[in-house]
Amino acid sequence: MNNAQLNELKQRYVASGAASPATQFADRAENALIWDADGNRIIDFAGGIGVLNIGHRHPKVVQAVKDQLDKVMHTCQTVMPYEGYVKVAEKLSQVTPVRGHGKVMLANSGAEALENAVKVARAATGRDNVICFTGGYHGRTFMTMAMNGKVAPYATDFGSMPGNVFRAPYPVPYHGVSEEEALRGLKLTLKTDANPKNTAAIVLEPVLGEGGFYAASPSFLKAVRELCDEHGMLMIVDEVQSGFGRTGKLFAIEHSGVEPDIITMAKSMADGMPISAVVGTDKVMDASGGNSLGGTYTGSPVSCAAVLAVLEVFEEEKILDKSQALGDKLGQRFDQWAKRFDCVANGRHLGAMAAFDVVSDKANHTPDADLAGALCKKAREKGLILLSCGLWGNTIRFLMPVTIEDEVLAEGLAIIEECLTELVGSQAAATA
Between vectors from CA 39 to CA 35 and to CA 40, what angle results, nearest 5°? Answer: 65
SS3 state of residue 166: strand
Q: Are 149 and 137 in contact (CB under 8 A)?
A: yes
Average pLDDT over every residue of 386-405: 97
Dmax (CA) of the chain = 71
Q: How far apart are CA 200 and CA 247, in angstroms?
A: 28
Residue 315: half-sphere exposure toward Cβ, Cα within 13 Å: 7
> Where on the phi/psi map is residue 420: left (φ > 0), alpha (ψ -120 to 50), or beta?
alpha
Report the predicted TM-score, pTM, of the whole model to 2 decimal places: 0.96
pLDDT of residue 430: 44
The closest alpha carbon to 214, from 166, 179, 261, 260, belongs to 179
Domains and CATH numbers, the chain: 3-54+318-431 (3.90.1150.10), 61-316 (3.40.640.10)
pLDDT digits (tens, 9 = 90+) for 3-41: 999 999 999 999 999 999 999 999 999 999 999 999 999
Q: Are 174 and 194 in contact (CB under 8 A)?
A: no
pLDDT band at 427 (very low <50, low <70, confident <90, very high): low
Share of residues in the chain with pLDDT > 70 (%): 98
pLDDT digits (tens, 9 = 90+) for 269-301: 999 999 999 999 999 999 999 999 999 999 999
pLDDT of residue 150: 78
pLDDT of residue 97: 97
pLDDT digits (tens, 9 = 90+) for 107-160: 999 999 999 999 999 999 999 999 999 999 999 999 999 999 977 788 788 888
